[in-house]
Amino acid sequence: MTVQTVTLGRERFVLLREKDYRDLKARARPVGKGRRSTAQDRGDIAEASRREHEPSVPLKAVRKRLGL
């Protein structure tokens, strides 16, 4: 990827090929917007759903245990 920078006033701008811009734009798209989820994404979702059902300790009980 060939990148050039241009300074106009005090702002710096990056110039790159349109194909490279489209590739970067496609990679930045969120998972739900046409991009397939990776194994890492699926694992994170599974872990989050497992942790959602774990029992939790109320903050009041934690403070009492710590003596706060």
What does pLDDT average to in each consecutive run of 10 residues of the chain (68 residues)? 84 90 81 70 90 89 91
Q: What is the pLDDT of residue 46?
A: 92
Q: What is the pLDDT of residue 24?
A: 86
Give the C-alpha separation, 13 to 24, whole Å. Answer: 16
Q: What is the pLDDT of residue 31?
A: 59
Q: What is the largest CA-CA distance in the chain?
A: 62
Q: What is the pLDDT of residue 53?
A: 87
Q: What is the pLDDT of residue 60?
A: 92
Q: What is the pTM of this model?
A: 0.36
Residue 16 contacts residue 1 (beta carbons within 8 Å) = yes
Q: What is the pLDDT of residue 62?
A: 92
